Amino acid sequence: MFALVPLIVLFPLAGVVVNALFGRQLGAIRSAWLAVTMAALAFIVGLIQLGGLLGNGGEAVIVPVATWLSVGDLHVDWAFQVDALSVTMMLVVTGVGTLIHVYAVGYMREDVVHNGDPARYTRFFIFLNLFLAMMLILVGADGYAMLFVGWEGVGLSSYLLIGFWFEKGENNIGNTRAGMKAFIVNRVGDLGLMIAMALLFWNFGSLTYREVFENIEHALADPAALAILAAVGVLFLVGAAGKSAQFPLFVWLPDAMAGPTPVSALIHAATMVTAGVYLIARSNPIYHATADAYGFSPSDLVAWTGALTALIAATIAVAQNDIKKVLAYSTISQLGFMVAAAGMGAYVAAIFHLVTHAFFKALLFLGSGSVIQAMERGMHAAEDGHHGHVDPQDMRAMGGLWNRLPITKWTYLVGALALAGLPPLAGFWSKDEILLDAAEHFPAIYAVLAFTAVLTAFYVGRQLVMVFSGEPRTSAAAHAEESPAVMTGPLVALAVLSVLGGVLNLPKFGEHDPATWVHGLRNFLATALPVEGHGLIEANVAFPSAAFAFLALMFAYFFYRNAYRSAHDQDPLEGLGGLYRALSKKWYLDDLYDFFIVRPYETMAQVIARGFDQGGIDLVANSLGDLAREIAVGFSGFQRGLVRAYALVMFLGVVALLAWFQLAGPR
Amino acid sequence: MLPGIPTYAYVGLSAVLFAMGVIGVLTRRNAITIFMSIELMLNSANLVFVAYARQYASMNGQVFVFFVMVVAAAEVAIGLALIVAIFRSKRSIDVDALRQLNG
């Protein structure tokens, strides 16, 4: 049963290969459904692994596949580690991934027509399956080496998918630039991860989880080893900051919204960005070992990084007008919650929030894709000519969609309320676990996260009001049409998951609650992660968080209900002046990066390219070529075609030869 | 050994003939005239061979003259064929007109 786990990677890879080689023969529809089938098969393999784990009491199983490197002391295998944590991740990735694949079948059909290249349809599914394979390598790895392969692989897939419409975007290069930005910023994080891996190998002799964590056990008393572990912990945070978009490396994620919406849902909400959280959770022995050794330990740093990221991103989300950008900053904020939970030692809470967030954030992104395409259909239907052209993603141009999109509206509402943390939806239970742990052990972080939760509810309410309520503000919104079933089906499925997802890990409502399904996820993950806390629901935390979320939603409703009469109205928050401008400009972080890093780098690149490469090296190479040509031209003077001249030269040559023989040559 | 013309006279004559042949090859424009000059050079060489063959009473020189004559004949055959072919395409046998292979 466990031996089947390599299939979880091989099925999507097979999808990639078959679609790449035979995509044209299969045709668009069959290749897309093949990709969906491969994702579904991977999900089934994940379920089989779950069954196996439930059967053997959750004990971790290593499934080796092949040897990769055997160089000196370094021995790395391709091997899968099947334990509770990796199976949870696998199920989330393949489950939500399959739903998104189905959605993409419908979404991309319209998108390729809208962008004018129907032949690119199959390529999307090749990249999507590739991403799935890489992400499953990442979560199924038995050590940091194989994790890194998956880590880089998902970075590559992200780049390919963000820049899918590579000739579109600002100045016909915007999407490509967004893809490059994602790759380069991720690279900064990857450097941290690589150095950490090198440190681990050098000092602890291995890169597999089992061996590294065993060796850590033996080294606990040694302060030098603890220092190395602390450095590794901090460097893992750097890697996670790159991949999971934490401060200050989150700048790539909003730009990544340039990719098609299924990409935003799958990669930048549900799965790839959770890789950093997974890394920290998986490395919990390292954080545990260094937790007491220092006043401000690496896990404290992780917790504060997460908390601050959550707050900063939530403030920026309040001032965004693009529907996907709001969701992007919301994702960064919720990832901050997860990272903070991991830093506080509440690994189960972090993973629980990862799972529920995957449900409702993917739902929100897919829903936003449905809204965007509804606006595009509205633009076609309205046929207003030039007046009808609006940015289909700008919320100021929407409005009144509640009456026009019957299925999308309900699913989007469910997702939004789950994000805001309204009970009894999934988001409430998972966010509450994190807040509970913070309130008990880290009161300062609790304050930050609680305030962020209020902001979350506020910007969620703002988005709901701007998109759905009131009167349509443009003709595109007035003529918007609902999406087809292949798109609304996954929306409904994810909405159900967002409602029921809390059941995965309900807290106990009293010491006498014997229900076995309570704390299901915590009990399951207890075999792989340290669990702490009593698991009782705490009214002092739960009640205020629910109440504040509800109040913030109401406030947003009343504040924005009449704020936008036309598409050109100003946001009422603009009354805040400079603060609002800072928020909408993302606290000028991108501008700072541009000024201090990007511009000097580009200038230096220009200097080297023009001065040194073109002026120096090319000059030398071209001069040598010119010199050779001049010599050749000179010599071609001998070859003028005049026969008598040749005869003369021959004759003179013979004379010279004879003279030499006669006078000074050999006898 | 029969008295007679001393060998140096033959060699001298051969040198003069050779020089005339060379000048003819280098100076004349008509292809057939050049061939005639080449024949003249070959025959001057023949003369030298025969002269020394007589001086040393050896047959080697005389035999070699036959070789030279055969070569000359073959060369003339090919050369005249070439001239005919060139004339067919260029309607002229002025060697100065044959300068396409330049560069």
Interface confidence (ipTM) of the complex: 0.86
pLDDT over 70 percentage in chain A: 97
Q: In terms of Cα–Cα distance, which of A462, A469, A473, A482 is closest to A376?
A: A482
* Cα distance between residue A146 and residue A4, in whole Å: 18
CA-to-CA dists, residue A44 to A7, A262, A358, B74, angstroms: 10, 22, 19, 90
Quote the Cα angle for A645-A647-A651, to 5°.
Answer: 115
Q: In terms of Cα–Cα distance, which of A227, A208, A247, A234 is closest to A293?
A: A227
Which residues of chain A make contact with B100, given a CB cutoff of 8 A?
Answer: 641
Domain map (residue ranges) of chain B: 7-94
Cα dihedral A631/A635/A640/A641 (nearest 10): -120
**pLDDT score for A12:** 94
Interface of A with B (CB under 8 A): 636, 639-644, 647-648, 651
Give the pLDDT band (50/70/90) at residue B103: low
**pLDDT score for A384:** 61
Task: Report the pLDDT averaged over residues A204-211.
Answer: 87
CB B39 within 8 A of CB B72: yes
Could you count the other beta carbons within 10 Å of the beta carbon of residue A570? 11
CA-to-CA dists, residue A461 to A79, A102, A315, A379, B82, angstroms: 46, 29, 14, 26, 99
* Bridge partner residues of A78 (DSSP): A66
Q: Which of B20, B35, B99 has the most A C-beta neighbours within 10 Å, making it the best mutation to test the interface with A? A: B99
Write out the DSSP string of A605-627: HHHIIIIIIIIIIIHHHHHHHHH
Nearest to A642 among B22, B27, B96 (CB): B96
CB A509 within 8 A of CB A537: yes
**pLDDT score for A522:** 79
**pLDDT score for A535:** 66
Q: Is B100 on the interface with A (CB under 8 A)?
A: yes
Taking only Cα atoms into account, the Rg of chain B, rounded to an integer number of angstroms, comes to 17
Measured between CA atoms, the residue of chain B closest to residue A650 is: B26
Residue A193 identity: L
Which residues of chain A make contact with B95, given a CB cutoff of 8 A?
Answer: 643-644
Residue A73 in tokens: 């002391």
Fold topology of B7-94: Helix Hairpins (1.10.287)
Smallest CA–CA distance, residue A640 to chain B, in Å, is 4
Q: Across the interface, do B102 and A648 touch by the CB < 8 Å criterion? A: no
pLDDT over 90 percentage in chain A: 45
Q: In terms of Cα–Cα distance, which of A526, A539, A393 is closest to A466?
A: A393
Give the pLDDT band (50/70/90) at residue A514: low
Q: In terms of Cα–Cα distance, which of B26, B25, B71, B27 is closest to B45?
A: B71
pLDDT winner (highest mean) among A129-133, A243-247, A516-520? A129-133
Smallest CA–CA distance, residue B77 to chain A, in Å, is 20
Write out the DSSP string of B59-100: SHHHHHHHHHHHHHHHHHHHHHHHHHHHHHHHS--BGGG---
CB A423 within 8 A of CB A348: no
For A253, half-sphere exposure in the C-beta direction (CA atoms, 13 angstrom radius) is 34
Task: Report the pLDDT averaged over residues A489-512.
Answer: 81
* Cα distance between residue A267 and residue A260, in whole Å: 11
Q: Which of B18, B20, B26, B92 has the most A C-beta neighbours within 10 Å, making it the best mutation to test the interface with A? A: B26
Mean pLDDT estimate for chain A: 88
Q: Is B25 on the interface with A (CB under 8 A)?
A: yes
**pLDDT score for A415:** 93
Q: Across the interface, do A644 and B100 touch by the CB < 8 Å criterion? A: no
Given a cut of 80, is residue A294 above it in pLDDT? no
Question: With the C-alpha atoms ordered A199, A531, A148, A159, is the resulting torsion angle positive or negative?
Answer: negative
* Bridge partner residues of B30 (DSSP): B94
Q: In terms of Cα–Cα distance, which of A564, A367, A545 is closest to A456?
A: A545
Task: Report the pLDDT averaged over residues A400-417.
Answer: 90
* Cα distance between residue A339 and residue B90, in whole Å: 91
Residue B33 identity: T
Given a cut of 90, is residue B34 above it in pLDDT? yes
Instruction: Please tell me the least confidently modeled range out of A210-219, A508-517, B6-15, B58-67.
Output: A508-517
Task: Report the pLDDT averaged over residues A118-134.
Answer: 92
Mean pLDDT estimate for chain B: 91
Measured between CA atoms, the residue of chain B closest to residue A635 is: B103
For A642, half-sphere exposure in the C-beta direction (CA atoms, 13 angstrom radius) is 12
SS3 A368: helix
Q: Across the interface, do A647 and B25 touch by the CB < 8 Å criterion? A: yes
Residue B72 in tokens: 């000359």
Q: In terms of Cα–Cα distance, which of A352, A204, A355 is closest to A283?
A: A204
Residues 6+ apart with CB under 8 A from A585: A591
Measured between CA atoms, the residue of chain A closest to residue B27 is: A644
CB A59 within 8 A of CB A238: no
Alpha carbon A7 to chain centroid, angstroms = 24
Task: Report the pLDDT averaged over residues B15-25.
Answer: 95
Given a cut of 70, is residue A534 above it in pLDDT? no
Cα dihedral A635/A641/A646/A647 (nearest 10): -170
* Cα distance between residue A109 and residue A649, in whole Å: 78
**pLDDT score for A115:** 86
**pLDDT score for B5:** 86
pLDDT tens digit sequence for A58-84:
788 888 888 888 888 888 889 999 988
Q: What is the pTM of this model?
A: 0.81
Which residues of chain A make contact with B22, given a CB cutoff of 8 A?
Answer: 651
Backbone phi, psi, residue A394, to 5°: -85, 120
Burial, B14: exposed, middle or buried (Cβ in 10 Å; 0-12, 13-18, 19+)? Answer: buried
Q: Across the interface, do B96 and A644 touch by the CB < 8 Å criterion? A: yes
Q: Is B19 on the interface with A (CB under 8 A)?
A: no
CB A384 within 8 A of CB A487: no
Q: Which of A633, A644, A651 has the most B C-beta neighbours within 10 Å, making it the best mutation to test the interface with B? A: A644
CB A398 within 8 A of CB A375: yes
pLDDT tens digit sequence for A142-184:
999 999 999 999 999 999 999 999 888 888 888 999 999 999 9
Find the distance separating the first CA and the last CA of chain B, reported in whole Å: 58
Task: Report the pLDDT averaged over residues A254-272.
Answer: 88
* Cα distance between residue A201 and residue A543, in whole Å: 47
**pLDDT score for B85:** 93
**pLDDT score for A61:** 86
For A111, half-sphere exposure in the C-beta direction (CA atoms, 13 angstrom radius) is 23
CB A245 within 8 A of CB A336: no
CB pairs under 8 A between A and B: 30
Q: Across the interface, do A639 and B101 touch by the CB < 8 Å criterion? A: yes
Q: In terms of Cα–Cα distance, which of A91, A148, A131, A427 is closest to A259?
A: A131
CB A350 within 8 A of CB A338: yes
Q: In terms of Cα–Cα distance, which of A476, A465, A462 is closest to A404?
A: A476
Which residues of chain A make contact with B79, given a CB cutoff of 8 A?
Answer: none
Task: Report the pLDDT averaged over residues B91-101.
Answer: 85
SS3 A517: coil
Give the pLDDT band (50/70/90) at residue A445: very high
Q: Which residue did the predictor score with more confidence, A526 or B71?
A: B71
Which residues of chain A make contact with B99, given a CB cutoff of 8 A?
Answer: 640-643
**pLDDT score for A170:** 82
Residue appearing with tokens 């040198």? B15
Residue A2 identity: F
pLDDT tens digit sequence for A546-576:
888 899 999 888 888 877 777 677 777 777 7
Q: Which of B18, B22, B93 has the most A C-beta neighbours within 10 Å, making it the best mutation to test the interface with A? A: B22
Q: Across the interface, do A651 and B102 touch by the CB < 8 Å criterion? A: no
**pLDDT score for A667:** 64
Residues 6+ apart with CB under 8 A from A552: A420, A454, A455, A456, A457, A458, A461
Nearest to A639 among B25, B98, B103 (CB): B103
Give the single-character DSSP code of A207: -
Residue A107 in tokens: 């979404």
Smallest CA–CA distance, residue B90 to chain A, in Å, is 16
Nearest to A643 among B27, B98, B103 (CB): B98
**pLDDT score for A1:** 81
Q: In terms of Cα–Cα distance, which of A249, A525, A262, A245 is closest to A369?
A: A262
Q: Is B95 on the interface with A (CB under 8 A)?
A: yes
CB A253 within 8 A of CB A361: no
For A496, half-sphere exposure in the C-beta direction (CA atoms, 13 angstrom radius) is 7
Residue A513 in tokens: 């609650």
Smallest CA–CA distance, residue B3 to chain A, in Å, is 31
Give the pLDDT band (50/70/90) at residue A269: confident
